[in-house]
Each structure stands twice: as C-alpha cells, then as structure tokens.
C-alpha cells in the first residue's frame, strides 16, 4: 500500500499516523507539505489530526483551501482512499469530500479521553478487520467534534449504511445521532473524530485502532 | 469600497459559546438577558467602485469561505459609515 500523510501548519498527529501506517504496511508513507500541489502515485491519503491554521475562521476551513487539497479531491474523485482523522475530518467536510460539518462540542469544552464506539460498517476498506457491532475503545481529543448535518443528509447516510462508527452510550461532543465517523458515498473516504493512530500499539495503551490500518493494507495493497 | 459581512448561526443550531456568554452576562446581574447568539463580523476593503459588482464578489466569498452555509447565514453591508465603531 502506497500512502501519504499531508502535513499542514498546525498538524500534530501526522507523525503518529505515519508510525501506524509504517507498522501496518512495512513502508513509511510520503510526508507531503500542504503547499505542494501534486501527489505522488498513491493508494491512500491521510488528512491528520491537529489544529491547522490555529482553527482560524472555522475548524478545517483554511486548510481545505490549501494547494494540496485540490490534488486530494482529484485523488478521491478517481476512487482513491482518504482517511480523514479529527482535524482531517473537519477539513474533509469543509472541502466537500464528506457532507455536514463539525461544530463546537455541545458542552463547550475540549474533551480528551478514551470513548466507546460501535462499529457500524464492515464493508469499507477501513473496516473489514472488525466484526459488525463490535465495541471498541479509541481516544478522542477535540473541541469541535459535534457532527451536524440536516435530517435529510443524516437519513441518507443511515439509509445507505455510510455511518462507519457511532459512540456507544458515550457521546463526548453531542454529535447528531451519536455519529463518530462517516463514509463517502463510494466508501473510499472515511472521516472520524476519534484517533485510531493513537490506539494502534500496545505501548500507547490500546490496539483497537490497529485493525483500521490492517484493513487498509489488506484491501488496498 | 468598504464592506461588512455578518456571519451568524442559523436558527436552531446549537451555540455553546453564545450560551456561555449569556450565563456570564446574567452572572453580572443583567437579569433581563434572554438569549445570546455569537457571530462573526468581517470588515473588508475592496478595490471595486461598483456596489453591485462588489456585492456579487462578496457573495462568492461568503459561499466559498467566510460562511459554512450548512450551519451559518450571512448578510452583506456595503458602504455605510466606513471605519469601525466603538472606542479602541
């Protein structure tokens, strides 16, 4: 599997994502600066967590207009996989790769802890390594993880089986319908607020996220 | 040409910052405060001299960057009293 991690000013989970990808695939990902305008030949692009552009204006809004994002959108339109984690999820929504938007947490506070999630989809390249309805524990660390979309969009996501993960009686941010992660219509873009790259090695205190990287290697390799 | 753009949350969209400000104002003794919604205001100076062209340009800016129309409305004000208000 050939992968790249996009590095934005203010990204802080880019190296964690790189370590998880390297461990799962045996190859280090390319680290691509946001100011570049071309991507190398790739199977997977990771939009990492962090606080790109200091969350100015709206989370992910400025990063969504970075030069590299046009190439990321083209990669997605060709059917390439995009793994958008936390701030990456916020960017993916702002860039139109995924519907909806991530708003302030309902409690108005930054939240940083492990959450319980239920696996809702096992058909995407990200989730084949899980059992349906499996309960997993993954850390979150965000101030703006409250997924919001109108009812018609939410109904469509649920109807087409595009909700990948839901918080399992443990919603940390007030997201609509307990949504923790969603897929694009072709299931090749996954956006999620929790951080699987921080739960992909026993030394990090959990391995429930490792199956996502293994799934990608098995499906995309 | 001077313009202002006001971006506000749509009705029904949760606004935790507005809520916190509302509580803080009541804490200051302003019992009459019934509701606070926080928004954003942008002051933009444009080279345009034609108001209609400027408004069209600002609309594009709002749709593309200044507002996220999933959750926000925007209002454009062109010209008017010019520089910012208030003491600073």
Interatomic CA distance for residues B22 and B28, integer angstroms = 10
Residues of chain A with pLDDT under 70: none
Say whether pLDDT at B4 is over 50: yes
State the pLDDT at residue B53.
Answer: 95
The whole-number pLDDT of residue A153 equals 98
Of the residues B11, B14, B42, the best mutation for testing chain A's interface (the one with the most A CB atoms within 10 Å of its CB) is B14
- Could A104 and B16 be called an inter-chain contact, meaning their C-beta atoms sit closer than 8 Å? yes
Specify whether A197 is catalytic: yes
| Domain ranges (residues) in chain A | 3-220
Looking at the structure, give the CATH architecture of the domain made up of residues A3-220: 3-Layer(aba) Sandwich (3.40)
Pairing of strands A135-142, A179-183: unpaired
Nearest chain B Cα distance for residue A109, angstroms: 9
Asked if the model's pLDDT at residue B82 lies above 70, the reply is no
pLDDT recorded at residue B84 = 43
**How does residue B86 score in pLDDT terms, banded at 50, 70 and 90?**
very low
Q: Which residue has the tokens 């660390």?
A: A141
pTM of the model: 0.92
Q: How far apart are CA B33 and CA B56, in angstroms?
A: 36
CA dist list (Å): B22 to B30, B34, B39: 9, 8, 13
Q: Which helix (H) or strand (E) holds A82?
A: strand A81-85
pLDDT digits (tens, 9 = 90+) for B30-49: 999 999 999 999 999 999 99
Residue B16 to residue A61, Cβ atoms within 8 A: no
Q: A142 catalytic, yes or no?
A: no
- Parallel, antiparallel, or unpaired: how do β-strands A135-142 and A146-148 relate? unpaired
pLDDT at B2 over 80: yes
Nearest CA in chain B to A105: B16
Give B52-74 pLDDT, tens digit per residue.
999 999 999 999 999 999 999 99
Chain B contact probe: residue of A53, A61, A145 with most B CBs at under 10 A: A61
The model's confidence at residue B80, banded by pLDDT at 50, 70 and 90, is low
């Amino acid at each position: 599997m050939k992968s790249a991690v996009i590095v934005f000013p203010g990204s802080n989970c880019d190296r964690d994502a790189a370590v998880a990808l390297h461990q799962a695939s045996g190859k280090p990902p390319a680290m691509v600066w946001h100011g570049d305008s071309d991507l190398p030949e790739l199977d997977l692009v990771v939009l990492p967590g962090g606080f790109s552009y200091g969350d100015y204006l709206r989370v992910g809004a400025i990063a969504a207009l970075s030069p590299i994002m046009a190439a990321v959108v083209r990669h997605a339109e060709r059917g390439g996989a995009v793994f958008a984690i936390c701030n990456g999820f916020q960017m993916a929504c702002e860039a139109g790769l995924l519907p909806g938007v991530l708003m302030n947490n309902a409690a108005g506070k930054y939240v940083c802890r492990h959450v319980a999630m239920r696996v809702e989809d096992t058909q995407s390249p990200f989730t084949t390594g899980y059992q349906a309805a499996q309960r997993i524990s993954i850390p979150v660390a965000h101030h703006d993880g409250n997924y919001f979309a109108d009812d018609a969009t939410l109904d469509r996501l649920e109807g087409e089986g595009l909700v990948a993960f839901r918080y399992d009686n443990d919603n940390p941010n007030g997201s609509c319908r307990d949504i923790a992660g969603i897929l694009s219509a072709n299931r090749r873009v996954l956006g999620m607020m929790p951080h699987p790259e921080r739960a992909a090695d026993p030394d990090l205190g959990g391995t429930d996220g490792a199956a996502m990287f293994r799934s990608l290697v098995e499906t995309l390799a | 040409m001077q313009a202002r753009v006001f971006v506000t949350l749509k009705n029904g969209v949760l606004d935790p910052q507005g809520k916190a400000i509302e509580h803080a104002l009541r804490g200051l003794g302003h019992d009459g405060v019934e509701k606070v919604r926080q928004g954003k205001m942008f002051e933009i100076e444009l080279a345009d001299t034609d108001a209609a062209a400027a408004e069209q340009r600002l609309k594009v800016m709002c749709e593309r960057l200044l507002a996220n129309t999933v959750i926000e409305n925007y209002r454009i004000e062109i010209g008017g009293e010019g520089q910012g208000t208030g003491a600073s």
